[in-house]
Homo-oligomer: A and B are copies of this chain.
Amino acid sequence: MDELRYQNTRRTDLALEERETFEDDDVEIKGVVLEEDYDEDTDIKLTRVIIKDERGAKAMRKPIGTYITIEAPRISGSDEGYHKPVSNLVAAYLEELTNGVEGKHILVAGLGNRNLTADALGPQVIDNLFVTRQLIKEFGDEFAKRNRLEMMSAISPGVMGQTGMESSEILRGIIKETKPDMLVVIDALAARSVSRLNTTIQITDTGISPGAGVGNNRNALNKDSLGIDVIALGVPTVVDAQTIVDDRMENALRKKGFSEEEVYQFLNEMTDRDVENMFVTPKNIDDSIHRISYCISEAINSVFYKEPKFGKA
């Protein structure tokens, strides 16, 4: 990796986009495996990034693990028939990364602030789940088997500005008390590319680790911090406004013939306090988040309840 290459420090939560920052797509990055698939009928692109070792983790600034990305550009649209194949893919990958849910109790946590549209994905998913733990506790295993239910509980812990507590504190407490076998966290992500907003779903077995790929953080949501396996399922709902500006600027300056070094220096000089805390979002964000969160709820429900007759419209 060129030392002088401008490091766009603006973050992406997508392993896929981190991978794309490496200049030549075909170059193999040591410790990172990339697999891609595309379905013409549905226009869905599947990518699997596997970070195999510490070398890969360092290059990718993400923890070791498997990152599956479903890119479904039409999911944001109003064609309801289109939800089914996406929902089925999410369900299949959830089954894969959880190693099957049979006989397990799984806690699903919807992170984020339900009162801020761009951050409400997690709570909206939780609102449409069909939880089963209380039914199985009341009616027993026989009932569960007969109705093909697996045990799911769910929580929207809120954000620190609303609760005064880290999500990790709340979840750690609930996990110790109710002893689930695994945690699935749902969260709104930041992406670098606007075309991925509300159209891309990333599922990973690494949990969520604030900070660059180092998992040893009490506020992380992963096996180290919580003691159980954590699957993270996320959808990019915002792009940082600075990212948009920087990306365009970089392209523009390169086109004009500036050198790596000059571009790097220029962007570092530019500080733009104005766009701090600003994000870029599509006009129909309320609708698209509603749609994609419903699609994810359906996927999760189908994993825990084999012949779903229930659901919340």
* Chain A interface residues toward B at CB < 8 A: 78-81, 83, 115-119, 126-127, 129, 131-135, 151-158, 160-165, 169-170, 172-178, 193-195, 241, 244-245, 248-249, 252-253, 256, 266, 270, 272, 274-275, 277-287, 290-291, 294, 309-313
Q: Does A194 lie within 8 Å of B278, measured CB to CB?
A: yes
Contacts of A172 in B (CB 8 A): 173, 177
- The answer to whether B158 touches A275, judged by C-beta atoms less than 8 angstroms apart, is no
Contact B244 A275 (CB under 8 A): yes
Contacts of A248 in B (CB 8 A): 245, 248-249, 270, 272
Q: List 17 A–B pairs whose Cβ atoms lie within 8 Å, in order of A's numbering.
A: A78-B310, A115-B127, A116-B286, A117-B117, A127-B162, A133-B165, A135-B164, A153-B163, A156-B158, A176-B176, A194-B275, A195-B274, A248-B248, A252-B266, A256-B256, A278-B280, A279-B281
The reply to whether B313 and A291 contact each other, CB–CB distance below 8 Å, is yes
10 more contacts with CB within 8 A, not counting A156-B158, A245-B245, A248-B248, are A80-B309, A133-B165, A154-B164, A165-B174, A173-B174, A194-B241, A241-B244, A249-B249, A249-B252, A277-B282
Distance between Cα atoms of A194 and B277 in the complex (Å): 10
Shortest beta-carbon distance from A24 to chain B in Å: 22
A122 to chain B, nearest CB (A): 13
Determine the distance from Cα of A193 to Cα of B278 in the docked complex, in whole angstroms.
Answer: 12
* Least CB distance, A312 to chain B, in whole angstroms: 6
Report the bound CA distance from A139 to B272 in whole Å: 27
Roughly how many angstroms separate A230 CA and B279 CA in the complex, as a whole number? Answer: 34
Residues of B contacting A127 in the complex (Cβ-Cβ under 8 angstroms): 115, 162
Q: A134 is contacted by which of B153, B161, B281, B294 (Cβ under 8 Å)?
A: B161
Option from B170, B175, B270, B309 in Cβ contact (under 8 Å) with A252: B270
What's the minimum C-beta distance from A203 to chain B, rounded to whole angstroms?
21
Are A280 and B241 interface neighbours, CB within 8 A? Answer: yes
Taking a contact as CB atoms under 8 Å apart, the answer to whether A313 and B294 are in contact is yes
- Inter-chain contact A311/B78, CB cutoff 8 Å: yes
Give, as a whole number of angstroms, the nearest-CB distance from A31 to chain B. Answer: 31
Docked-complex contact A312 and B78, CB < 8 angstroms: yes
Residues of chain B within 8 A (CB-CB) of A275 are 194, 244, 280
Contact (Cβ within 8 A) A134 B165: yes
Interface residue from B151, B155, B162, B309 paired with A154 (Cβ < 8 Å): B162
